[in-house]
């Protein structure tokens, strides 16, 4: 039987770092679902067609971690047909044996509502902007504006808006070290049977 860990939250909150650490700790597969949307956005053209024809090679593009790809991902993720085309892929991945960790915006609410563990990872806007600016070598003020715009778009979309699942455990990483946040997540997963 597979074990699914669903991690949601806004950009630069630490959810990807936690997801990768959980996958490594438990020997589970990991999927950063944002890469699916980043790849669709980066491919350009008709986003619905791009989502339907997305391949694993598309997820290996070098430009998927750029700010432009993040903004494109948020725009294409608001298109219901794009989301629909990518849901089945994500749900199949979630049942990878012996387990899978998926991180994104709607994993615990839409993609894997029956996940054995659900986490919602967040941090203050300023902390997230500082982290992303350091990662990208970009202006913190510009990043802060972009993060707030993206959060508003992700939370307001009609289909699968970003929100904390009712049964998700909230982890605010604003004042936690990476090790503290990872250890907290590992302990939560262990208690659930991972």
| 27 annotated to a ligand binding site | no
Is 90 exceeded by the pLDDT of residue 155? no
Q: Tell me, what CATH number does 140's domain have?
A: 3.40.50.300
Distance of CA 82 to the CA centre of its chain: 16
174 marked ligand binding residue: no
What pTM does this model have?
0.85
Counted domains in the chain: 1
Handedness of CA 95, 98, 103, 107 (dihedral sign): positive
The answer on whether 12 is annotated among ligand-binding residues is: yes
**Alpha-carbon distance 87 to 169, whole Å?**
23
Tell whether 13 is in a known binding site: yes
Residue 1 binned pLDDT confidence (cut-offs 50, 70, 90): confident
What would the pLDDT profile of 158-175 be if each residue is shown by its tens digit? 778 889 999 999 999 999
Can you give the pLDDT at residue 168? 97
Report pLDDT for 34.
Answer: 85
pLDDT in tens, 77-97: 889 899 889 998 899 889 999
Instruction: Quote the domain boundaries for residue 179.
Output: 3-191
> What is the Cα–Cα distance from 31 to 36, expressed in whole angstroms?
9
Residue range 8-40, pLDDT digits in tens: 999 899 999 999 999 999 999 999 988 999 999
11 is known to lie in a ligand binding site: yes
Any binding-site annotation on 16?
A: yes
Query: Would the annotation count 141 as a binding residue?
Result: no
188, 167 contact by CB (below 8 A) = no
């Amino acid at each position: 039987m597979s074990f699914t860990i669903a991690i949601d939250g806004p950009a630069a909150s630490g959810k990807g770092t936690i997801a990768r650490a959980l996958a490594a700790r438990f020997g589970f597969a990991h999927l950063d679902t944002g890469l699916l949307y980043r790849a669709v956005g980066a491919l350009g053209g008709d986003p619905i067609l791009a989502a339907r024809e997305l391949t694993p090679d598309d997820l290996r593009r070098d430009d998927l971690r750029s700010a432009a790809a993040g903004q494109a991902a948020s725009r294409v993720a608001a298109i219901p047909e794009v989301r629909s085309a990518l849901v089945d892929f994500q749900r199949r991945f979630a049942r990878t044996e012996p387990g899978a960790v998926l991180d994104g915006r709607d994993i615990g609410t839409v993609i894997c509502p029956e996940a054995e563990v659900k986490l919602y990872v967040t941090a203050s806007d300023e902390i997230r902007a500082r982290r992303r600016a350091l990662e990208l070598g970009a202006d913190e003020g510009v990043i802060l504006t972009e993060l707030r715009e993206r959060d508003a778009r992700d939370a307001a979309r009609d289909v699968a808006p970003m929100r904390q699942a009712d049964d998700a455990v909230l982890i605010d990483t604003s004042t936690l070290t990476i090790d503290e946040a990872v250890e907290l997540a590992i302990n939560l997963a262990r208690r659930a049977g991972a």
